[in-house]
Structure 1
Amino acid sequence: MQNVLTYFTIFFTVLVMQAQNDTTASIADAGPTKYQQGMRKAFQLWQENKSWEAANVFERIATAEPDNWLPPYYVAQINVINSFTEKDGTKLKAQLDKAQDFINDATAISKDNPDLLVLQAQLYTAWIVFDGQQYGMTYSAKASELYNKALALAPDNPRIILAKAEWDMGGAKYFGQSIEPYCKDIQRAIDLFATFKPAGEFYPTYGEERAKQIQAESCK
């Protein structure tokens, strides 16, 4: 279960950091659009640990911006994150079903998007965390396939490299294997983060600090 517990950690230490980064992004812009105002409000709520309120704002933006994959992506992401601490099976299913619906919406807008593939893999991970015996074998294989596809689509994206490397490291630890082969991927991600630029405001930016943390703790 080490691989899924790793994700439990990364969600709460890194994605909130993204909310902080995006909240302060482009604050100096003159005359922000209604979309920008809404997205910044959502990230601010997320930063304040009001994730469900943030999700509601993202959901309203998704309705108003039907051709933009980012709002449904963040609705799904918040539902996936919160599912990791949900012990009630009925509530968990409702959260992950909603996340799946919004992943589907985002994918319809942006097909073969590596960030959406990673989020889908993380949704499968949430099911594994909830009941590894029931979902482990099936969803682990699906998650691995998604990480491979995401990396093939974006071989130089440091967040994708990091996500796959961390997944692989978790699996290696679970089976008592060496994680050393994946440390080079962590280093490569760190190197690429130095020059990586997101495609635009509100695009996912997380990962660099997490990569450095993994390197310090696991790749000594």
Structure 2
Amino acid sequence: MKKYLLSFALAFMSLTAFAQADYEKIMKEKIAKTETCKTAEEFQTLANDFQRIGSKESTKWLPPYYAAFSQIQKGRLMMRNGDMSGLDETANLADKYLSSAQNLAGADNAEIHLLRKMAASLRMMVNPPQRYMTDGAKATEELGIAEKLDPSNPRIALIKAEDTYFTPEQYGGSKTKGMEMFKDAVAKFNTYKPKTALDPNWGKAEAEYFLNMPAK
């Protein structure tokens, strides 16, 4: 009987290890696509893919995190193209995924709070004068939480640099100061090590893009 139990246990361990390897392989492939998507439709497809992975891997926080990230990247692309009509829906979907991720990872995850900040910023951009005191305040609150939890996180430095760079000077922004902050973000990226191969590691190419822009 002990022999059969041992065989069963070994077989179960092998299947578990195989399933984990398969999960990591699929996740790595999908995460790599977050750097290559060019259209809102491609980001939506990617968000759907992560959502499906999350439905199978219901104890892991990274699939809903990346589903939210894909939605936010979709929204940022829409915003750059001048399409504000779908930002509310996109931000709401991102928040839905982030709630799932936070339920699994806990409330002290800086990466999740940073995406909550980014989702709130998207929502604010639909009507900045009307939403600055609500969604703008939410974005500031979430960024503050993220920075308190992980002050050396380069993605937090990147988003702060973007906010400073794109905010008009009359509202406290500065392109010059923003560029200095991008340098700080790149320096943090150069020493940053993600906890695992699947943990968030995006943003360095974006920071370097700003630093490599021709001087105006």
Q: Separation in 2 of the partners of 1:44 and 1:205? A: 10
SS in 2 for 1:67: coil
Query: Normalized against structure 2, the TM-score is what?
Result: 0.72
Q: Which residue of 1 aligns with 2:132?
A: 136
Kept in 2, the 8 Å contact 1:59–1:71? The answer is yes
Partner amino acid, structure 1, of 2:157: I
Q: Give the counterpart of 1:211 among 189, 200, 207.
A: 207
Q: Separation in 2 of the partners of 1:93 and 1:48? A: 21
CA RMSD of superposed structures (Å): 3.0
Q: CA deviation at 1:106?
A: 0.5
Q: Separation in 2 of the partners of 1:88 and 1:212? A: 27
Name segments (4+ residues, structure 1) moved above 6 Å.
none
Q: Separation in 1 of the partners of 2:191 and 2:211? A: 19
Gap runs ≥5 in structure 1: 1-29
Once the two structures are superposed, residues 7-48 of structure 1 have per-residue CA deviations (whole angstroms, 9 ceiling, x without a partner) of: xxxxxxxxxxxxxxxxxxxxxxx9982212332443466535
Alignment of 1:15-54 (within 5 A): 33-43=21-31, 46=34, 47=36, 49=38, 50-54=42-46
**1:100 partnered with 2:80:** no
Q: Cα–Cα, structure 1 residues 141 and 60, in superposed 2: closer, same or farther, change >3 Å?
A: same
Number of equivalences: 190
Partner amino acid, structure 1, of 2:27: M
Question: Quick one: higher RCO (CA 8 Å, sep 6+), 1 or 2?
Answer: 1
Kept in 2, the 8 Å contact 1:42–1:53? The answer is no
Q: Which residue of 2 aligns with 1:80?
A: 72
Larger radius of gyration: 2
Q: Cα–Cα, structure 1 residues 76 and 37, in superposed 2: closer, same or farther, change >3 Å?
A: same
